[in-house]
Structure 1
Amino acid sequence: MDGSSAHSLDDGVCVAGDGDEQETRLSALELRMQQQDNEITLLKAALADALRRIGFYDQHFTRLQPTLAGSVAFPPPLGLTGPTVASVSSDQTSVRDQTPVQDPPPSGSTRLRRCSTSDKLRGPRDGVLENHRPRLAKKSASSQSLLSKGRNMDSRNKEPPQSPVATSRRGFYNQEGISIKMFLRGRPITMYVPLQAHNYEELKMELPVEKLKLDWVYGYRGRDSRDNLHLLPSGEVVYFIACVVVLYSIEDQTQRHYLRHTDCVRCLAIHPDGVRIASGQAAGVDKDGKPLLPCVHIWDSVTLQTLQHIGMGSFERGVGSLAFSKADSGAFLCIIDDSNEHLMSVWDCTRGTRQAEAKTTNEAVLEVEFNPADSSCIVSCGKSHVYFWTWSGSSLTKKQGIFGKYKKPKFIQCFVFLRSGEVLTGDSEGNILVWGKAAADTKTLGKGAKETYQIARQVRAHEGSIFTLCVGRDGGLLSGGGKDRKVILWGADLTPERETEIPERYGAVRTLLEGPAEELLIGTTRNAILRGSLSQPFTPIVQGHTDELWGLATHPFHDLFLTCAHDRQVCVWDQEQHTLAWSKMLEGTGLCADFHCSGTVVIVGLQNGR
């Protein structure tokens, strides 16, 4: 090649000179070949997708004849056009369904309808579709020949034979790997099992004989429940979340679990003997979708054996609050149900029989307790009320507390009994109210006021609601605030002596109790249990999400797992230490998450599509 000549290539690159001419030309050709390889790859992908779509339409119109003749529906193209999201409900997880296209049914057979699209292909328009059959048959023959060259669809088109359905505690599972029927919040949901490239034969297996054992529960229900944290004489902390009551030994770092409830636990009470525990649950459904009646379980905290069921069939939507009597060593149990009238009932714990029942109010009832010195006196509180009850035989009568010159708060959140016999309440205005029986002089209160309770004193305690009051072993009073997140120790004359504040990231103080020595245990509204004192900072011993958890993934090679939830948090948990490794607030609700195979990167899918 002449060194002084210039050559114009097809790709528009000009080269000159003898030394660099060949290298430049080769580089240009390599670049051109790489571009063509990329284009060929794209064409192959597009062709494969076209063949899949053609295959679907072939099967679609091939099934049209038996569909029109026998009114038999055909399934949607889930196996060819990729996974589709089947919406379960507004508050339940969507399920991905990837089912291969199946052979058309034999003549005269029927199939279950899985898509309403088939309804549009029957009826008055049958004659229109009939006229297009010759042309569709011709397209079917040509596309089938193309499809047979690309791949063999026989193994994917075989429909598995029907088999018996295996039952589990929560649903029905088809052993052939077709679907599983679950009951979520009482609604029957059919979810289709994703099928991989392997044959159906690999899914035909017996259920394992081994059973899973609950090892650890992460979280605590403090966001929407009260009086939900207790300390046993054994040193174990008792609390609940979902259907599980957890007995957690802080010193030994071990958990035990009471698992006999069939739906969410809503309240707890400890018997005066410190061994027996009463726990009330909400109404639920069994594996067949039939309603399960709410009741109270009385069980042994040492053996975890259920001793008695109280109130089976007596409560409507669930058990809202309960308390053991103390003056008679826990012989009776007072229960408030979650019906519209919030019925109060007193039960004999030994016989399991109801002694008395009465309507309380149509408003929310938040707490109920027996007077520690007199089991015939019961106090309940809730929205805009505090009631002082007298129980005698089968009769329950109430007297409403008189607010008099004091402003009636929107909620009476909590109350405690002092050793002096007075009742202290904490309300949504941040005030501690001291209640006592009305004096004999009833000129200002009216006739019949002698047997009522009135406010003797009001103390401004917190900014925002007072969620909990606690009387210590030495008779001192502790209060926990909502908005200010403070814990305050009060003197004998209700003067503040010491106070501390919990970190904002843990939420407000929901429940407060004394631990060993000067230690305090706090349950918060952000589902954490904190340990500390008035002089030492509080540290979490239990943490969890505050809303529905949707995303879950395990680390590829470490003892870590990842969660994301509706509370916009993404968390990584240490399975060995049973602690939260780290967490991060997201810009939206997390629905799914996973680890990268390297284990160093996390991906989270959000509800807003990001």
Structure 2
Amino acid sequence: GGRLMAGTYTPPTILPFSPLQRQKQLRKGNHIKMFMRGRPITMFIPSDVENYEDVRTELPSERLKLEWVYGYRGRDCRANIYLLPTGEIVYFVASVVVLFNYEERTQRHYLGHTDCVKCLAIHPDKIRIATGQIAGVDKDGRAVQPHVRVWDSVSLSTLQVVGLGTFERGVGSLAFSKADSGQHLSVIDDSNDHMLTVWDWQKKSKIAEIKTTNEVVLAVEFHHTDPNTIVTCGKSHIFFWTWSGNLLARKQGIFGKYEKPKFIQCLAFLTNGDILTGDSGGVLLVWSRSSAETPSGKGPRGESFQISRQVKGHEGSVFCVCEMRSGTLLTGGGKDRKIILWDHELRADRDIEVPDQYGTIRAVSEGKGDEFLVGTSRNFILRGTFNDGFQVEVQGHTDELWGLASHPSRGMFLTCAQDRLVLAWSSEDHSLQWSRTLEEHGHCADFHPSGAVVAIGTHSGKWYVLDAETTDLVAIHTDGNEQLSLLRFSVDGGLLAVGSHDNFIYLYTVSENGRKYSRYGKCTGHSSYITHLDWSPDNNFIMSNSGDYEILYWDVPNGCKLIRNRSECKDIDWATYTCVLGYHVFASKLKTPFQQPMEPRNPSETPRPLQQWILWSRVMTQPRPVMKGFPL
């Protein structure tokens, strides 16, 4: 899913490089040559640099501080929103766990994870939290192992890191024990065998481990009153585990005369110790303890759980169930998008339907008073009551986020994504200003310098111009039939450059304050797709980078001609420096693989108001960037 993170930022100086790194580049007269994947890249030294060796190489003193995270991961997760005693909603997106106070409109962030968080569990004390992450790769290309982090939600300090070297692929679900006050932690990993492990988490000690099933496992829970019983469920199964020391013994739930569902999606515990499950058929099943003996060789003798009651709950799946403080239950449905309140006798008391535009229900939890919180498949977090309906608290994109542009004079920025949504956000109060759905997947965007319109490029070569206030369609054009990688207005707004995956840069003259466009020319010469582009302040020159590490310069007034002698361009001023290849940024390039998005640099002494904001998007098809310790 798409997600944004915002933080205060001061432009950095050139990053340092070591003697070993200096060996990767060679100085020859007026230029420096460095090699990337065996390909030489020549960068010409500006005339005002008398001694290249004297260029400042100390680290900048500035550091990034994450201020706000836009979005929530609901589409492919479940049971991942809770209200804490602090009044904050805790949830996750990307590698950040967010603690959001919706009354004060403030966020805090737990930043201990090194890759995407996939599950979350709350300790019985409601203060400590466990979160599990997937495997990944760090900024140096080293493997990052999946693990669980237990942390304090008040201080945000990490209390324990559990499972390094144990889990495969990722952590799918986890739960604290209830009957012994949260001393233990059960974890299901994402390996083929979906290993169940039980931990004394304070000692980082793995007590028991066993294979569960090759089928999907969707939930794990300790029994609330019996410390020796653990329940797991998922595709075509529910297992009741008896835990004794380092041993885990499995009993499979038998459906008998009841129809076996394709998926058991969720489970909860009733006040009498019975277990309630919700399944893909919309049915609620109550499992009660039985002393029936099991045949020899089919599992341990003694108590087991059998179905004692069946209740039709929802049309379509029962995706989640929430135990309320009063002992009543809330369930959330898929197809019917209903939240149903069940009384102590498991009779439907009240229900409410989540509006279609928010998607289906993925998580439900209890809020303040009679409120409840809902996470949805379209990445909304809603706060609602049966009487008053729903209020949106968190929202974001539902697919890969590709395009981002900041307004030139207001505290506003725009994002576009694979979900075809264009969203305009306030960077001051972090609210959504407006949204519009395109016919195509959005891939890039740029505001006209006047701020009156914004141009949005898509995956098909088509690009749109929208009124930045009304969202009305102002213009529509098409260049080629491949993905557009960038749109960039010139400083005065009189020209627009369109960079494409067909290796061309298309130029347009712009008039009527960004409302009229006429084809001016085409820059032909790159041998790979366009990745970055910058204008000179006088609109006369363009510098561009491509996917095969080229740095090319273009003479715009003279027919968009390629400048063959690139040394002539070494002293050109640039209005921005977003290109990731060039003399001004090559030192930092020595520390960062090219495939990772580089931080744009703006050399202007009077930056635009939003250039104290750096906004990050995690592109799912690219390696994970890490900037100053904040993984995305």
- Normalising by the smaller structure, the TM-score range is 0.5 to 0.7
Deviation by residue 1:550-609 (Cα, 9 ceiling, x = unmatched):
001101111111001111111101111211111111112111112122212121111111
- What is the letter of the counterpart of residue 233 of structure 1? P
Tell whether 2:318 aligns with 1:466: yes
Specify the SS of the correspondent of 2:67: coil
**Alignment partners' CA distance in 1, 2:187 and 2:455:** 46
Deviations 1:343-394 (A, max 9, x none): 0000012211110000000011111010110111000111111111100000
Q: Which residue of structure 1 aligns with residue 520 of structure 2?
A: none
Over the aligned positions, Cα root-mean-square deviation in angstroms equals: 2.9
Give 1:179-578 correspondences, 5 Å limit.
Answer: 206=57, 207-438=59-290, 440=292, 451-578=303-430
Structure 1 residues 499 and 287, CA gap change in structure 2 (3 angstroms): same
Tell me how far 1:501 sits from its aligned partner.
Answer: 1.0
TM-aligned CA deviation for residue 437 of structure 1? 2.5
Q: Residue 389 and residue 196 in structure 1: after superposition, are their counterparts in 2 closer, same or farther (change >3 A)?
A: farther
Per-residue CA deviations over 1:103-124 (Å, capped at 9, x if unaligned) read xxxxxxx999xxxxxxxxxxxx
- Three-state SS of the structure 1 residue aligned to 2:91 is strand
User: What is the CA distance between 1:448 and its match in structure 2?
Assistant: 7.9
Q: 1:159 aligns with which of 27, 31, 41?
A: 31
Q: How many angstroms apart in 1 are the aligned matches of 2:289 and 2:157?
A: 42
User: Residues 592, 378 of structure 1: CA spacing in aligned structure 2 closer, same or farther, 3 A cutoff?
Assistant: same
Structure 1 residues without counterparts, runs of 5 or longer = 1-109, 113-156, 163-177, 180-188
For 2:286 and 2:412, the matched residues in 1 are separated by 50
Asked if 1:590 is matched to 2:442, the reply is: yes
How far 1:498 sits from its partner (Å)? Answer: 0.9
1:198 CA displacement: 7.2
Q: Secondary structure at the match of 1:334?
A: strand
Cα distance, 1:192–1:478 mapped onto 2, change above 3 Å: farther
Residue identity over aligned pairs, in percent, reads 57
Q: Provide the rounded CA distance (Å) in 1 between the counterparts of 2:409 and 2:86.
A: 37
Q: 1:430 to 1:329 in 2, by over 3 A?
A: same
Hey, what's the Cα distance between the residues in 1 that align with 2:390 and 2:186?
34
Q: Contact 2:362/2:374 (CA < 8 Å) preserved in 1?
A: yes
Query: What code does the residue aligned with 2:266 have?
Result: C
Equivalent residue, structure 1, for 2:553? none
Contact kept, 8 Å, 1:222 with 1:523, in 2: the verdict is: yes
**Equivalents in 2 of 1:277, 1:531: separation in Å?**
22
Secondary structure of 2:357's aligned partner? helix
- Contact 2:33/2:40 (8 A) holds in 1: no
Whole-Å Cα distance in 2 between the matches of residues 437 and 237 of structure 1? 35
Paired residue secondary structure (2:405): strand
Q: How far apart are 1:227 and its partner, in Å?
A: 1.3
Given residue 247 of structure 2, which amino acid in structure 1 is its aligned partner? S
1 or 2, which has the higher helix percentage? 1
Q: Partners in 2 of 1:463 and 1:449 — Cα distance?
A: 37
SS in 2 for 1:425: strand
Match of 1:32 in 2: none
**What is the distance in 2 between the residues matched to 1:199 and 1:192?**
22
Q: Calculate the TM-score normalised by the size of structure 2.
A: 0.65
**Stretches of 4+ aligned residues off by more than 4 angstroms:** 189-207, 439-443, 446-450
Q: Write the letter of the residue equivalent to 2:309.
A: R
Alpha-carbon shift at residue 447 of structure 1 (Å): 11
Q: Aligned residue pairs: how many?
A: 432
Cα distance, 1:195–1:447 mapped onto 2, change above 3 Å: closer
Q: What letter corresponds to residue 534 of structure 1 in structure 2?
A: F
SS of 1:216's partner is: strand
In structure 2, the CA distance between the partners of 1:275 and 1:263, relative to structure 1 (3 Å rule), is same
Give 1:481 deviation, angstroms: 0.8
Change (3 A) 1:194 1:252: farther
Any gaps of 5 or more consecutive residues in structure 2? Answer: 1-22, 463-632
Higher relative contact order (CA 8 A, sep 6+): 2
Amino acid in the other structure paired with 1:159: H
Q: How much has 1:249 moved relative to structure 2? A: 1.0
* One-letter amino acid matched to 2:31: E
Cα contact 1:283–1:291 (8 A) shared by 2: yes
The residue aligned with 1:80 is none
- Distance in 2 separating the partners of 1:420 and 1:160: 75
Q: Distance in 1 between matches of 2:207 and 2:102?
A: 39
Equivalent position SS for 2:265: strand
Distance 2:41 2:425 in 1: 28
| Shift, 1:546, TM fit | 0.8
CA distance change for structure 1 residues 248 and 192 in 2, over 3 Å: closer, same or farther?
Answer: farther
Contact 2:416 2:423 in 1 (8 A): yes
1:417–1:423 CA contact under 8 A, matched in 2: yes
**Does the CA contact (< 8 Å) of 1:404 and 1:454 recur in 2?**
no
Deviation string, structure 1 residues 214-245 (Cα, Å, up to 9, x no partner): 00000011000111111211111111110101
User: Taking structure 1 as the reference length, what is the TM-score of the superposition?
Assistant: 0.67
Does the 8 Å contact 2:292/2:303 carry over to 1?
no
* More strand per residue: 2
Query: How far 1:252 moved relative to its partner?
Result: 1.4
Cα distance in 2 for partners of 1:546, 1:526 equals: 6
SS in 2 for 1:433: strand
Once the two structures are superposed, residues 290-347 of structure 1 have per-residue CA deviations (whole angstroms, 9 ceiling, x without a partner) of 1111111111111111111111111111111111111111111101111000000000
What is the one-letter code of the residue matched to 1:160?
A: I
CA distance in 1, matches of 2:422, 2:322: 34
**Given that residues 324 and 331 in structure 1 are in contact (C-alpha distance below 8 angstroms), is that contact kept between their aligned partners in structure 2?**
yes
Letter in 1 for 2:435: S
2 CA distance for matches of 1:593 and 1:512? 35
Q: Compared with structure 1, are the counterparts of its residues 437 and 564 closer, same or farther at alpha carbon in structure 2 (3 Å cutoff)?
A: same
Shift of 1:439: 5.8
Structure number with greater Rg is: 1
Contact 2:30-2:45 at 8 Å conserved across structures: no
Q: CA deviation at 1:262?
A: 0.6
Matched AA of 1:399: K
Rate the CA distance shift 1:200–1:236 in 2: closer, same or farther, 3 A. Answer: farther
Cα distance in 2 between the residues matched to 1:256 and 1:234: 11
Q: Please, which moves more after superposition, 365-374 or 189-198?
A: 189-198
